[in-house]
């Protein structure tokens, strides 16, 4: 089952009885699978959204006689599938109490609400659901999808999961709304340890996605880049001798990043980014996996007990055969580089050791990289681009040309 995850709905507590550390939580959707469910499929890919949607969210405080504490009505752009709800930039609500909440969500085709003279495009505010969170059959205008669920805002859970009933799913996907052009996506990946394709076993222990980093202010007049899980397009494994992951998108991108995350406790996502050609008919990205074990060695050499929240670049230089290469100076267009010793225990010198490993802690996103061998002068093969992404390890594999 693939859930349609609404991009972070930042619901921030702000009343006096809320604890100081009560942070935002997200709303995620799944499809109602209870007896009598009207949903023919449990995958958002099986429902179209060519007509777009108007999405209504209401949040009521159950512990305060059902008092309405948040209410929003906003649009979702047309998309090839209902998974496009995951690309919605939702509103931010404040003063959400740390109580038991009832979250009600409904989606209509925009024209359905516009045709109602009383609503004039706005979301209705009447009683839409029964006590189970199932839409009332008598409610008009009938939503395409709708559901309600209870959520404890004061708990450690940071995702409110709302099961959707499929009341009129075809409402959002009519031929008259036209076709949505989609671009195929393919991601393959190298293991930074071997400089070869990841193995089938490694692939089975990964979640893989595609995303475009988003620039946000850092609070000090600068900019940092982030990749939100809600804005990451999840990909599915493809059968074949070389592990690969595929999907499709109706979005356009400038920069795209593969996002590889091991299904291992304390893992950190590895991202590898590239500039996408404006006329690209497909998105084909080659990622690099930095495993938990490798990253632990890097952090130990740095003398760091935890992964830096601002992100980290971890790279490796290899020769034309894929073997680690020493005596190479790596130069980003901005920022500085440190190199790991042959046994990976310390940071050393001004060029690579026989481990070929290097790190960067201050290279901004989008920087370009060059490399030169200090003895024979050979250079890097192809263009290399990458820099810090908040909370992620940017993984680089620099392949050098054959020696002269």
- What pLDDT tens digit does each residue of the chain (404 aa) get? 344 444 334 444 433 333 444 456 778 888 887 766 678 888 888 899 999 999 999 999 999 999 999 898 988 888 888 877 765 655 667 778 889 999 999 999 999 999 999 999 999 998 999 988 889 999 999 999 999 999 998 787 777 888 999 999 999 999 999 877 788 999 999 999 999 999 999 999 999 999 999 999 887 888 899 998 767 888 889 888 999 999 888 788 889 999 999 998 889 999 999 998 877 789 999 999 999 999 999 999 999 999 999 999 999 999 999 999 999 999 999 999 999 999 999 999 899 999 999 999 999 999 999 999 999 999 999 999 999 999 999 999 999 999 99
Distance CA 281, CA 232 (A): 20
Are both 98 and 201 inside the same structural domain? no
Q: How far apart are CA 379 and CA 366, in angstroms?
A: 20
Residue 50, burial from CB neighbour count under 10 angstroms (0-12, 13-18, 19+): buried
Which single residue is written with the structure tokens 């969170």?
Answer: 133
- Alpha-carbon span 318 to 81, nearest angstrom: 41
Range of the domain at 18: 4-176
3-class DSSP state of 64 = helix
Which of 130, 161, 176 is the last residue in one of the domains?
Answer: 176
The whole-angstrom separation of Cα 240 and Cα 248 is 19
- Distance of CA 283 to CAs 75, 178, 255, 367, Å? 27, 23, 11, 21
Alpha-carbon separation of residue 3 from 42, 79, 81, 184, 273 (angstroms): 8, 16, 12, 20, 25
| One domain for residues 158 and 195 | no
Q: Do 273 and 253 touch, CB atoms closer than 8 A?
A: no
Global confidence as pTM = 0.66
Which of 157, 176, 195 delimits the end of a domain?
Answer: 176
Indicate whether 147 and 260 sit together in one domain: no
- Indicate if 87 and 162 belong to the same structural domain: yes
* 162 and 187 together in one domain: no
| Among candidate residues 58, 77, 78, the one with its CA nearest the CA of residue 68 | 58
Q: Same domain for 153 and 263? A: no
Residues 254 and 390 in one domain: yes
Return d(Cα 249, Cα 282) in angstroms, integer: 10
Same domain, 165 and 232: no
Residues 140 and 199 in one domain: no
Shared-domain flag, residues 185 and 166: no
Q: How far apart are the first and last CA of the chain?
A: 53
Token pair 């906003």 in the structure block, residue? 74
Is residue 192 domain-shared with residue 150, that is, in the same domain? no
- Structural domains of the chain, count: 2
Where a domain ends, among 130, 151, 176? 176
Q: Which two tokens stand for residue 294?
A: 């490798």
Q: Do 334 and 222 fall into the same domain?
A: yes
């Amino acid at each position: 089952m693939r859930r349609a995850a609404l991009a972070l709905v930042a619901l921030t507590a702000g009343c006096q009885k809320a604890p100081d550390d009560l942070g935002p939580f997200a709303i995620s959707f799944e499809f109602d699978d209870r007896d009598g469910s009207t949903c023919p499929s449990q995958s958002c890919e099986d429902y179209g959204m060519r007509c777009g949607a108007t999405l209504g969210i209401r949040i009521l405080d159950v512990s305060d006689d059902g008092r309405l504490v948040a209410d929003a009505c906003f649009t979702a752009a047309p998309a090839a599938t209902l998974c496009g709800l995951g690309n919605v930039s939702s509103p931010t609500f404040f003063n959400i109490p740390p109580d038991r909440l009832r979250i009600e969500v409904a989606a209509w085709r925009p024209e359905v609400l516009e045709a109602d003279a009383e609503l004039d495009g706005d979301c209705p505010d009447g009683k839409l659901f029964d006590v189970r969170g199932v839409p009332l059959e008598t409610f008009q205008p009938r939503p395409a999808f709708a559901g309600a669920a209870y959520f404890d805002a004061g708990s450690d859970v940071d995702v409110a999961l709302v099961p959707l009933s499929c009341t009129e799913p075809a409402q959002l996907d009519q031929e008259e709304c036209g076709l949505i052009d989609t671009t195929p996506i393919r991601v393959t990946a190298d293991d930074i340890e071997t400089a070869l394709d990841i193995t089938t076993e490694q692939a089975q222990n990964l979640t893989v996605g595609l995303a475009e980093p988003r620039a946000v202010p850092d609070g000090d007049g600068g900019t940092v880049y982030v990749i939100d899980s809600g804005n990451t397009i999840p990909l599915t494994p493809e059968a074949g001798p070389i592990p690969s992951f595929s999907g499709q998108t109706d979005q356009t991108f400038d920069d795209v990043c593969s996002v590889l995350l091991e299904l291992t406790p304390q893992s950190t996502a590895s991202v590898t980014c590239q500039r996408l050609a404006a006329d690209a008919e497909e998105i084909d990205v080659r990622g690099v996996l930095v495993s938990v074990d490798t990253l632990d060695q890097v952090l130990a050499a740095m003398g760091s007990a935890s992964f830096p929240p601002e992100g980290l670049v971890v790279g490796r230089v290899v020769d034309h055969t894929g073997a680690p290469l020493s005596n190479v100076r790596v130069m980003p267009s901005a920022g500085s580089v440190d190199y790991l010793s042959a046994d990976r225990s310390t940071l050393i010198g001004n060029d690579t050791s026989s481990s070929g490993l290097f790190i960067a802690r201050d290279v901004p996103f989008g920087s370009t990289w060059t490399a030169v061998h200090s003895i024979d002068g050979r250079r890097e093969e192809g263009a290399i681009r990458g820099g810090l992404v908040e909370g992620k390890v940017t993984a680089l594999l620099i392949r050098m040309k054959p020696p002269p």
